[in-house]
Structure formats: C-alpha cells, structure tokens
Structure 1
C-alpha cells in the first residue's frame, strides 16, 4: 500500500478508522500464544529454523504488506512466515516478491517477468493485492479483472494459488463495497483456491501493531499476521505438493 492519496480520495486516517470498526466485529484468526511464539523467535534468531536447501518455494506476490514497508531485513511477512513454517516442521522457502505501492494493474504487468526470474519454480503463490486499488478508489471491475488475470497465469504455469484479501472502507460507500469486497471470495470459489478473507484483520485498529501511518504492520503486527495465517499457508502448501 501507499501512504499518499490523490486529492479525490478520502483521508487515510478516516479510511482506516472505518476499516478498524469493521474488523472489530470480525472473529480473530490468530491466537496470542502463537503470536508470542513467533515474536520470540524473531527476537532470538537462534530459534528461527532456516529453510532447507530442498524446501519447496512459496512466492509471496503482493504490495507493501508483503514487501515489508519500513521494516528491518527479516521482519517482513514472507521472512517471518518462512521462519515460522520451518520452525513448525513445514519445509518452505518463501520468496518476497512484494513491491510497495503496487496496484493490481502494476502487479499484473510484472508477473511474467517475476515468474521467469525465479531460480526455482514456486509450488505455491500467495497473492496479496488490491489495497492500493481501494485507497485510490479505482473501479472494482478493474481490480477483479487484474486479479483474475494473475490467478489465470499462475494456474497456466501449474502454480497453486492462495489469496489474501482486502476489504473496502465503508466511507467509500455501500456501492463500492458491494462491488469490491466480494472479489476475493468469488475468485477463490471460482478457482477453488484457499483464501484469507482480510489480511490485515489481526492488526487493523491497534496502533501498537501498526506503523505511525496507521496502515502498515510493524514487526509485532507482522507476528500477529503470521500467527493468524501460517496454518492455512501450511495446508495450502501441503495440498499443492500432492
């Protein structure tokens, strides 16, 4: 995601306040013990299990929420996810292909180049995009078409897909949310792929888990997101390897 918006967009703080209110009504996907375990391992590198040389590759293809915006090396979602999976006995190498500021259109343009440049073919691709489209108020039909094309290209290459979704801020209006929010569950159903409905749900509205832009997770926030999603990623990887 980006932290600057065109003049026609609503203030970020207002958008995120609305998203926070929405998230507070949802059920938490993670558990405190798991989050603490993830954070403890991040703070003590000796506890982080390295990825074996023969580990299957997971490609984390997304925007700044994957890229690790303003975080230290090793604190991004892909880095901490890899450590958590291997510590749990799930062999995996997670490649960070997140680009801060990417819209679904920009990501679609770089997908083939990104895939062709991989040293090893990914077994699974995590696709986390759409937040910048929403913050810019881009037409949901464009977001859907771009994500559809990304998923189709990954399927064409026989790479399994897992989607991590986004929600529209209520301030954008009921019509926008009605068109935007169903994109991820409908794509997941149509392509029969696993889905995390709202990637930021474990952290949104909690300033202790966010950077001062109130959008991006800090290192502790990444811990929470990893704890909330690593089980589903492990299941998706296991299914992809069959």
Structure 2
C-alpha cells in the first residue's frame, strides 16, 4: 500500500528557484511534460520557479556535463539530484557513480545551492553485491555531505502494475501525483536548510 503524508506543508515566503536534475523518471517519459510529477509540483507551488533539467536516458556523467550551464542560467536555491538509474541499468561501476555524484554535489554547493539527493535502487540483475554497493553510494554521500536523502520514490510504485507503463520500468500518468506527494515534503524541507 502506498502511504503519503497528508500533513500540511507550508512554503517559504520567498520565491525560490529549484532545479530537478534527473532522468526519465523525472522527465515524464511516455507522457506529455504537463502530466509529469515535476509539472504537478509546479502547479502546487506557483511561487517557486521549478526548472526541469531532466533528460530521459541520462546518466550521472551526462548530468554532470550539463550541470554547469544549468547552474549559470538562473540563481538556483536547490538542486534535486535524481540520477543513477541508467548507470545501474548499464552496470557502471559504483565508484564511477560516486565520483560523478560527488562532483554534482560539489558544483551545486559551490554555486550556493542546497542539495537534495534522491535514493536510486536498481533491479538485482547484477547480483546482491553490486546492488548493495550501488545503494550504499547514496547513503554514504548523504552522510559525507550532510545532505538529505529522499527514499526512492519508485519502491511502492514499481510493485503496483497499475502504476507502471508497459515496459515495467517507468511510472505511468496515474503514478505522477503519488510521486509529487512523496517528493513534496522533502523538497520544501530542503529549501529551508
């Protein structure tokens, strides 16, 4: 059962600029951008400028390459990093994942932005050792940088076929409001840090 908080979340009184740096899970793969969870978040918080810098198929290396220009396009208060799924699906080494994410966090913080890291989990295709090493990267980075780590928003969605597209990888339109509800308190809280 998918459980979300119904607690009222108050936003800050100023207009913040938030960058979502993600892959297909945040780019709204398989649907129009207006149907994706990032647009639904925009609709809930029109006072904030929410930039969706997500690209389907993106890896941490690709996100790292694009980040400098995204950071200079606006004065970003918060970078939400939702990357790594494609690294895992391609079997990239966890130390490469950690290196790229470390650089993304450093670049974001050096620009003056807070960082919210989102946990990514991969299917057990490469065995339990790889899966654990991959997942540990996110927890280690959250500890090392003392930044919040939002639990993987696909955990309960992926287990429900009614919320998934036919490919079994991407969430469908019905899942998007649930992702928004899941991410909302993490994003608003990270703005206050």
Verify same fold: TM over 0.5. Answer: yes
Within a 5 Å distance, the mapping from 1:25-36 to structure 2 comes to 28=2, 30=4
Q: Deviations over 1:16-61 (max 9, x none)?
A: xxxxxxxx8xxx5525x79xxxxxxxxxxxxxxxxxxx72111001
**Who is 1:57 aligned against?**
17
Q: Take 1:130 and 1:109, find their aligned partners in 2: how far apart are those partners? A: 14
CA contact (8 A) 2:35 2:173 kept: yes
* Per-residue CA distance 1:37-88 (angstroms, 9 max, x = gap): xxxxxxxxxxxxxxxxx721110011111111121231122111222345xx
How far apart, CA to CA, are the structure 2 residues paired with 1:108 and 1:73? 22
What's the offset of the Cα at 1:165? Answer: 1.2
1:105 to 58, 61, 74: 61
Matched, 1:78 2:38: yes
Residue 98 of structure 1: SS of its match in structure 2?
Answer: coil
Q: How many residues align?
A: 187
For the residue of structure 2 that corresponds to 1:180, the secondary structure is helix
1:62/1:73 Cα in 2 relative to 1: closer, same or farther (>3 Å)?
closer
What RMSD over aligned residues (CA atoms) do the two structures have, in Å? 1.8
Match of 1:42? none
- 1:216 is aligned to 2:170: yes
Specify every segment of 5 or more residues in structure 1 that has no aligned partner in the other structure, as ranges: 1-23, 35-53
1:194 is aligned, of 133, 148, 165, to 148
Report if the CA contact (8 A) 1:155-1:161 is conserved.
Answer: yes
Q: 3-state DSSP class of the match of 2:157? A: coil
Whether the 8 Å CA contact 2:71–2:111 is kept in 1: the answer is no
Is the counterpart of residue 133 in structure 1 residue 87 in structure 2?
Answer: yes
TM-score, normalising length: structure 2: 0.89
Aligned to 1:45: none
Cα drift, residue 169 of structure 1: 1.9
Q: Deviation string for 1:139-198 (max 9, x for gaps)?
A: 111111000010010011111000111113223112202211111111111111111121
Q: Name the structure 2 match of 1:156.
A: 110
SS in 1 for 2:19: strand
Name which of structure 1's ranges 215-224 and 169-178 shifts more when overlaid on structure 2.
169-178
How far apart in 1 are the matches of 2:117 and 2:130?
Answer: 20
Q: Distance in 1 between matches of 2:106 and 2:35?
A: 30
